[in-house]
Amino acid sequence: MSAHHFLILAGLALSTLPCLVPMKRPRDVASPADGAPADADARRRQPAVIAYRVDLLPKYDASFYERARVGLKKSFEVEVPPRAARSFEVPRGHFFRIHCVDGPQVGDLNLWCLDNLEERFYTGKTRQLHATHLTKGDRLWSCFPFLRPMATITHDSLQWYGWDQDGASVHDVIGTRCDPYSNRMLRGEDYDHCCHSNLIRALAERGVADAEKHVHDVLNVFMCTGFTKDTHQYFMKASPVRPGDFLEFFAEIDLLGALSACPGGDTSASHSDDTQRCFPLKVEVLEPCSKELEGWIGPQVCGYAGKHGLA
């Protein structure tokens, strides 16, 4: 092949390649200094904005729930021993109560859809839609992709507590639950009666396979908690709960619940050990006698199409 023909063929080959666009050199961006900028105070004074338009949520219909509570009839009861957990079922449209019976004691609550354990209580979204601590009128929301109210709090005998001088309140959705993994990491010892393990046993006793994967972050019933004002660390203090106090829920869907009587007792000093004095808790399931629920339709799962921008 002559040099002339070679150059012609090479030119044809190059013409078939995609057009190569020179890469633009990234613009040099100066890094901000490590110290506070001149307008630091102005930046800190920016207004806080509520992240979720909770005013768009369905309103809590207090009169509906109060009418439904009239003439409640107990259909089931279970005692939760100290440092243990028990499961229970609640049909949709029924109520359930968690009672303090013999002495101050906190509990860790998990909830699932009875017919599908993949739908479970979502503390993070509940916290975003309501608050760090729950009380009457707040709902317990399920996880994605379901995202619907699982239960509504209809009575709270500790509502009087409000917020104390330390910034603490009761019934939080910020503490995940005491667990043996953190305990091992921090203390170098195994303890099998943390709430995480208690909840696993409660599910396993029902014959649930792979019980641990279904245990999730909890509602800390009766627990008094907050964040320290200086270091913003999660803290606990003695629960104000007394025998006779209870937290009541309305089951918006068919529920499976599990409640652990925390080894921390009233959480005034420690958890994840046997040093605290502990008491049992009691769960009651209550059947409504009112005709208020005739024709009532519970919440449906979220209507999002689930495409996520994918083809």
The candidate with the shortest Cα–Cα distance to 271, out of 176, 166, 193, is 193
How far is the C-alpha of 276 from the C-alpha of 261, rounded, in Å?
Answer: 12
Q: What is the pLDDT, as a whole number, of residue 12?
A: 46
Helix 195-204 / helix 180-187 crossing angle, nearest 10 deg: 150
Over residues 195-224, mean pLDDT: 98
The candidate with the shortest Cα–Cα distance to 95, out of 237, 246, 306, is 246
Tell me the per-residue pLDDT of 171-192, one tens digit each, with 9 for 90 and over: 999 999 999 999 999 999 999 9
pTM of model > 0.85:
yes
Over residues 146-169, mean pLDDT: 98
Write out the two tokens for 96: 């359930």
Tell me the per-residue pLDDT of 236-284, one tens digit each, with 9 for 90 and over: 999 999 999 999 999 999 999 999 999 999 999 999 999 999 999 999 9
The candidate with the shortest Cα–Cα distance to 199, out of 218, 171, 183, 184, is 218
Tell me: pLDDT of 32 over 90.
Answer: no
Half-sphere exposure of residue 108: CA atoms within 13 angstroms, side-chain side: 31
